[in-house]
Chains A and B, each alone.
Chain A
Amino acid sequence: MIKLSDVSVVYRKGEENEKCALKNATLQISQGDFVIIVGPNGAGKSTLMKVLLCELAPTVGTYYLNGKSMRGFSVTQVARWVGRVFQDPNSGIFPDLSILENLSIASKKGVRWLRFRSCPQKAVSLLSLLGLGLEKNLNTRAGDLSGGQKQALAMIMAIISDPKVLLLDEHTASLDPKSSVKVMELTRQINEQFGITVVMITHNMPFAEQYGNRKWKIEEGEVYEYEYRPPVCLTRSENPFPLVGDQRRCAPKCV
């Protein structure tokens, strides 16, 4: 699904303070994988994430998504296949808009036209999976939610339009421990029940040990895998549960 072929990223190339943030990374992520990436600050984790989001083009090497080279693709183009949630709870939502309006924006990818906005039932059903009661307060301003609720809403928004991959960059870093656990359980649900591939950066070692089937470590720009287990989730074609299908069988845990 995702393949990095000998990818290197060099900042300020040719200048005195040139820095190689990613060195010859050759990686492969299969559908349904839950990849955990750990490493110290400045090791190149966020650079890798930027490459996956097409925010940064590799200096050398190629990034493939679904067998297609992503060279020349922009963030908005790659958004069709990739959802993302970052550390700041306000970065994944639109704080001044209501929950309904947030879901309405997220339920579609690409250019919008002059059709009156609507919130698909799928979005509300997904929201109800959280068990936070947000679906009953759709007109609440998203900025008025707590940090954990914002992050959960951001994750739901990121997966509404059925992306292939969900990229998470320290998405629990600014949450309290209780909220972090809830958000991590939601992450697990998204991966295992919906079959969405998850790539997650974290500094939280207990989470890194507890979650994910593939563990990567980045040190000074070099990536290596230190643990692998087969993915828990079923592949999408085998998955008997559609994204929002039989919710009894999905058995969502209270998040």
Chain B
Amino acid sequence: MLGIVEQGLILGLMSIGVFISFRIVNMADLTVDGTFALGGALCVRLFSLGLNAPVSLLLSLLAGAGAGILTGFLHRKLKINVLLAGILVMTMLYSINLRIMNGPNLPIPKTSVSASLGTFEQVAGKDPLADLFEPSAPAAAPQKEIAKHRTFENIFLGTADGQDLLLLSAIVLICVALTGLFLRTELGTALRGFGTNPSGLESFGLPKTLMTLLGLGLANAFVSLSGGIFALYSGFADVTMGQGMIVTGLAVVMLGEILFVRRKLVYGIFAPILGGIVYQGILAVVMRYGYRIGFRASDMKLLTALFIVAVIGFGLIQTKKRMKGKFRLSTIFGGGVGRD
């Protein structure tokens, strides 16, 4: 149960990014699949190199923001459709992630790096076969770098005693609070305005490009951060870990909005968090009992995509019904506040 909530919180954090791009900035940003893996890859790589976890996460967050800004730049400055711009950056990130990890995946070292893990050359400072033909070549001094010990431990213990949950909850709450505060500022309000009327914002002296870069940067920063947290939590990063994340994120956002539609807490940012926990719960149930009716874990992506289709279809029907209702109200009562 703890694991479900913990993973739900990570998923929720990622979905805040999707929420910002799809709901606040109103842009279908597909960079998410790439930035989630970027966050994971970079975080694990930096952690392996000896940086502590918070700094690794912070740098992953900044890298994610950079990827989002690149998408925004391609969209605004090179006039590439935002969907295509997202796909392009996502594709670039696939190669970049492979480079960062130097392979398709990278585990977090469980023990600190020590000299015993070094190769013979590193430890002895000479080639093991060097003496074979050339007698008594003096041994070079052992390399100093490998003597460095990484003293930082993973912030996630994986002990299932609630400590990870506490830490994750704190991270999520801080992120939600900071985002909520940001959206209350002049810049945050302008960003929300941009999502609802981009051209209108220009007439108040705010360039569309700036708001696009800000919105997509912020969204991908969240996704990358959650990718980094996921990698630290699960102990590895994989180049395919972001695959289908955009669809999952959308499903989580929609699920959250359906379940908590009446309580638009902190501009609706809480909905993805709660949606993430519920989604993870459903996933756990499906994986545990679904086999009885023929489900496989791999069917979850199909179910998620179908869920989004169903929610959009249902939403359309509801809107049509509401419009009919509005028409009736305005016919009976005439114009006024609250009616079109």
Closest to B191 in A: A112
Interface residues in B229-244 by Cβ distance below 8 A to A read: none
Judged by DSSP, the binding face of B is: helix
B203:A83 contact, CB within 8 angstroms? yes
Chain A 109-132: CB-based contact to B (< 8 A → 1; otherwise 0): 111111111000000000000000
Residue from B186, B196, B201 whose CB has the most chain A CB atoms within 10 Å: B186
B337:A146 contact, CB within 8 angstroms? yes
Interface residues in A81-111 by Cβ distance below 8 A to B read: 83-84, 90-97, 101-102, 104-106, 108-111
Chain B 182-204: CB-based contact to A (< 8 A → 1; otherwise 0): 10111111101101110111111
Judged by DSSP, the binding face of A is: loop
Which residues from chain A contact B203 at a C-beta distance below 8 Å?
A: 75, 79, 83-84, 92, 158
Q: Which of A108, A145, A161 lies in contact with B337, CB distance below 8 A?
A: A145
Closest to A163 in B: B203
CB distance from A199 to the nearest CB of B (A): 15
CB distance from B217 to the nearest CB of A (A): 15
Cα A77 to Cα B202 with chains together (Å):
9
Q: Is A30 part of the binding interface, using a Cβ–Cβ cutoff of 8 Å?
A: no
Q: Is A225 part of the binding interface, using a Cβ–Cβ cutoff of 8 Å?
A: no
- Listed from nearest, the 3 A-B pairs whose CB atoms lie closest are A112-B186, A109-B205, A94-B193
Cα A109 to Cα B203 with chains together (Å):
9
Q: Is A193 part of the binding interface, using a Cβ–Cβ cutoff of 8 Å?
A: no
Which residues from chain A contact B195 at a C-beta distance below 8 Å?
A: 96
Given A93-B197, A95-B197, A113-B186, A106:B204 Cβ within 8 A: yes
CB distance from A188 to the nearest CB of B (A): 22
Given A76-B202, A146-B337, A94:B197 Cβ within 8 A: yes
A104:B186 contact, CB within 8 angstroms? yes
Q: Is A148 part of the binding interface, using a Cβ–Cβ cutoff of 8 Å?
A: yes
Number of B residues near A (Cβ < 8 Å) is: 29
Given A80-B205, A109-B204, A146-B340, A91:B197 Cβ within 8 A: yes
A residues adjacent to B (C-beta < 8 A): 74-77, 79-80, 83-84, 90-97, 101-102, 104-106, 108-117, 133-134, 137, 140, 143-149, 157-158, 161, 179
CB distance from B306 to the nearest CB of A (A): 28
B197:A149 contact, CB within 8 angstroms? no
Q: Is B287 part of the binding interface, using a Cβ–Cβ cutoff of 8 Å?
A: no
Q: Is B158 part of the binding interface, using a Cβ–Cβ cutoff of 8 Å?
A: no
Cα A101 to Cα B337 with chains together (Å):
17
B185:A113 contact, CB within 8 angstroms? yes
Q: Is B210 part of the binding interface, using a Cβ–Cβ cutoff of 8 Å?
A: yes
Known: A94-B200, A144-B337. 16 other contacts (CB 8 A): A74-B207, A93-B197, A94-B196, A94-B201, A96-B192, A97-B196, A101-B192, A104-B186, A105-B201, A106-B204, A108-B204, A114-B187, A134-B337, A137-B337, A144-B340, A145-B338
Which residues from chain A contact B201 at a C-beta distance below 8 Å?
A: 94, 105
Which residues from chain B contact A106 at a C-beta distance below 8 Å?
A: 204
A112:B190 contact, CB within 8 angstroms? yes
Cα A158 to Cα B205 with chains together (Å):
11
